[in-house]
Amino acid sequence: MIFHLFLHHMTYALVEDILEFVNVLLGSKVLKTSEYIFRGLFEPKIRLHTHIYCPKCDLNIGEQMDVEKPIVKCVCGHDIQTNKLTDIFFVTLSISDLLAYQFKKPDFKLMEPRERYPGKYEDVMDGELYSGLIRPEVRRGKNVLTLLWNTNGAKVFRSPKGSMWPLQFVIREIDPTLRFRDDNVLLCGLYFGKKTPNMTCLLKPFQEELVVLADKGVEVVTSSGDHRLYHVYATTCSVDSGAKPKIIRQKAHNGKFACGYGLHPNLRVPGFRPCDLQFVVRNEENEPITCETRSHDSVIKDMLEADRLESEGNLKVGKNTQDHVNGLLGVSICAGIPKFNLVWGVAIDYLHTVLLGVMAGLIKLSFDTPSSNPAIHDPKDEIKRINKRLLSIKPPQAMATPSKSLDTRSDRKGKQLRLFGLYYALPCLKGLRKFSERHYEHLRKFVIA
């Protein structure tokens, strides 16, 4: 509804008629048809920008209101009809307007400044990255806001008709107990299309506004009427392992040098698909693998080198060419975000790497591997004993999710894998006659970590 309102320039009389028609179909007055209520819900004093991009090369053409010609020719030669937008646009909301809107709320409140004690970590703001980048700005007398931002694909339809990519952020200076409350998670961009968006195109307006907010800041008025100037920095990005390579412009998790934190080469391991490379601690000669830790400067250097090779036509898959520079494919749009660290500014994907990756892999290796080299040498017999232990454990009500039989292990979600790893795995597997002590020790170290 909102997309079509802006796409077709619908009048509010037409919108009211459509809402009334929906109510007739539903058999009750579910939707409010008042123009005043509709404007209050969807037209607060927050600027919404419609951006046009080329469907052929994904180049961001600019805002629709700034494009005067009905047909614009892209640098790639493609003709774009700006007056008939279908799936060649996305929308963004002004970050400064969203922040101003938040500060006017009566119950909106930031945390009081507090001292940081070495070795004591109560929040992400106690980390070294925040202390090194932001605290010097605070000492200079600046009012600072830091943002934790995220984008990811959300499948809207069961069939592969398209996906939605929201761009959202939270203010980290809000109390951790309230930080992720629904009204504190702010939507600043929305893409809907048949394919995955080009992140350089999608994040360009976000990056450009952050440059201005970091330099000049944004003036807000609190609910008490106080005027304050805040400088805004988006220092942390939390995305899953599928979206991260697109944002940073690096190889996917199963490619060469795919780790964003170290220069691990990744190797092929017998028993896995040949196209999937694994992070292993020893090479084929059983020698320990050592890798250099990445830094922000080294990543920038590799990105620039990848861009140079691409401009010369040498960065592509083929004979006598290379398809990456230490896993990087070019300069990321995130390199232009002020005070954003391209290595440690991206959070580790706990769900896919720890739970659906290592934890699920350990369960599969233990109970679903061939009998030639399993951790449990007679899986079916031992699974019965483990299930008996599992089902006899009565967790407290605070855990909400009761223990489940290992017979459903292939259908376990991230939360169930986390509960099994943290609370059930060690007591249920301890002392089993046919369970390898070596494997149990590995599991114990993993759970403690």
29/220: higher pLDDT: 220
Query: What backbone torsions phi and psi does residue 128 show, to the nearest 5 degrees?
Result: -70, -35
Give residue 230's pLDDT: 93
Give residue 263's pLDDT: 86
119/26: higher pLDDT: 119
Give residue 248's pLDDT: 93
Give residue 21's pLDDT: 74
Give residue 233's pLDDT: 94
- Which secondary-structure segment (H or E) carries 137? helix 135-139
Measuring CA to CA, which residue among 60, 130, 128, 131 is closest to residue 89?
Answer: 60
Query: What backbone torsions phi and psi does residue 50 show, to the nearest 5 degrees?
Result: -100, 120
pTM, 2 dp: 0.79
Choose the weakest-confidence range: 59-68, 180-189, 327-336: 59-68
Instruction: Report yes or no: 413 and 398 within 8 Å, Cβ to Cβ.
Output: no
Question: CA 10, 15, 17, 19: dihedral to nearest 10 degrees?
Answer: 150
- Which secondary-structure segment (H or E) carries 329? none
Q: How many CA atoms lie within 13 A of 28 on its CB side?
A: 1
Is 316 a residue whose pLDDT tops 90? no
Choose the weakest-confidence range: 256-265, 301-310, 396-405: 396-405
Q: Helix %, strand %, coil % for the chain, to 5? A: 40, 20, 45
Mean predicted confidence (pLDDT) in 283-296: 79
Give residue 11's pLDDT: 66
Reported confidence tier of residue 56, pLDDT bands at 50, 70, 90: confident
Beta bridge partners of 231: 144
319-360 tens-digit pLDDT: 455 688 888 989 999 999 999 999 999 988 888 888 888 888
Is 270 a residue whose pLDDT tops 50? yes
| 95-103 vs 199-215: helix crossing angle, rounded to 10 | 60
CA 344 to CA 236: how far, in whole Å?
8
Reported confidence tier of residue 122, pLDDT bands at 50, 70, 90: confident
